[in-house]
Amino acid sequence: MGDVEEMGEVVEEHSWDSPDSGSYEAAMEALSSFITRQKRGDKSVALPGKYSKLERMMMYIKVLGLEEKISGLRIIHVAGTKGKGSTCAFSEAILRECGFRTGFFTSPHLVDVRERFRIDGLDISEEKFLQYFWDCWNQLRDNVTEELPMPPLFQFLTVMAFQIFTCEKVDVAIIEVGLGGRRDSTNVIKEPVVCGITSLGMDHTDVLGDTLEKIASHKAGIFKPNAPAFTVPQLPEAMDAINERAQQLGIPLGVVSPLRCEDFNGLQLSLAGDHQFINAGLAVALCKSWLQHTGNRGKLFAKEDHKAHLPDAFLRGLSSARLSGRAQIVNDSIPKCSNIASGDLIFHLDGAHSPESMKACAKWFSEAVKQHKNSTLWSPVNSFCTNQLTDAHCQNGFGHAENGNHSKNVKQILLFNCMDVRNPHVLLQQLITTCASSAATVNLFFADGYEAELIYSITFILKNLQCLRSSS
């Protein structure tokens, strides 16, 4: 999942005085003042001053006195188009199970901004969030100049993550890139222990370039001298660019194969989908390298047989890692209503936002639906909202099943991510094609003036769900 806050750099003018209250609500109001308004690709307006984004990031870090402290963090830095959040989640869980105090910075959040900052596998507490938020806010506000304005949202959160992890004295910090790599706000890390690049695809082309080679070059921009790097199998043009960067720095580059079912001693990956075997394989390589380069090689082999399956701590981590909104299934029971038969809603949540990630998402969705006996596959919920749909097309926000199976009344709903800069039809076509190849049939909604790929907005669906819940 890309992070939209990294796309623009314009901050609207605000009064940067601290709110009267130090409450969580006040912090959220203050945080909203950082949100950028520049659209992607619009370079007509930018933050004032002569400094680049990374130069300003270093200035913010110096204001907070973090420069030397960050150099003491033992960091795993991960970029990629698909799977970087999952790879980081697996890595965090593995090293936590190895007995280390972990910090994990991820983006974007699903419900609460505190999800972006994890300590020992848990979202940072509200109390600690407020402590670190106002500390960073006040120090940066007190040092605002014409050349150094308050930062945009993602830059602020990145600086705050470094503040949290250094103050909390984590043993390892797993840092997920926001967007790209070379010019990403996280790329102020000078001495990571190890770097990783997940699967690459055509995404954010207006920012990163219109070829896979250019995109890969941006991602490989996180590589640093003396830090080994790992990636997964890539298309030749992407692999060439990654190899070139590694050779320029004189660092080893490992290409990691996906894990296999037999590697797990009967356990299952905690994150669903065949693509997660790729992410898990990369996470294992990153963690092994981190252990080896931090003097913890003994954690790799608790047993004498060095050729045994993965260490028990690795298996526990791979089977317990969590990441909200990635191949996540949430069940929500509906109470009996006068205008709808009682039944269940089953939400399938995934951050798919590119054709490549949608293909993986659709494979997972199809398998999950087929495993649910007598269930009906329902249209994904995301993009358009219309009042033109009639009762013949929908009832209470849901389409009618065409197979006559109304008795179970189970509604399978896929929620995925499509920002306004993307073409939803491209994602939908990939979804429909992949579902069809997996022998799963999608019931399409449609209305006059729209093509068959028409789907509802999340707001529209949630409004209807609230009506259902409030019905007696």
Q: Which residues are part of a known binding site? A: 107, 176, 204, 326, 350
- Round to whole Å and give the CA distance between 423 and 124: 35
280 burial (CB, 10 Å; 0-12 / 13-18 / 19+) is: buried
Torsions phi, psi for 195 (to 5 deg): -125, 150
The DSSP bridge partners found for residue 376 are: 411
- Round to whole Å and give the CA distance between 418 and 353: 6
Cis peptide before 108 (omega within 30 of 0): yes
- Round to whole Å and give the CA distance between 383 and 426: 12
**Count of residues in the chain:** 472
* DSSP H helical ranges for 109-211: 126-142, 153-167, 205-208
Q: By three-state DSSP, how is residue 306 classified?
A: coil
> Could you tell me the end-to-end alpha-carbon distance of the chain, in angstroms, rounded to an integer?
39
Residue that the structure tokens 């894990």 belong to:
259
Binding residues for ATP, as ranges, are 326, 350
User: Cα–Cα distances in Å, from 211 out to 18, 346, 409?
Assistant: 44, 38, 46
CB distance 354 to 365 below 8 Å: no
Binding residues for Mg(2+), as ranges, are 107, 176, 204
CB distance 214 to 121 below 8 Å: no
CB distance 415 to 380 below 8 Å: yes
- Round to whole Å and give the CA distance between 118 and 106: 8
Which of 50, 286, 74, 84 lies closest to 165 in space, CA to CA? Answer: 74
CB distance 397 to 460 below 8 Å: yes
The secondary structure of 51-65 as a DSSP string is --HHHHHHHHHHHTT
Residue 464: in which H helix or E strand, if any? Answer: helix 458-470
Which of 151, 196, 198, 152 lies closest to 174 in space, CA to CA? Answer: 196
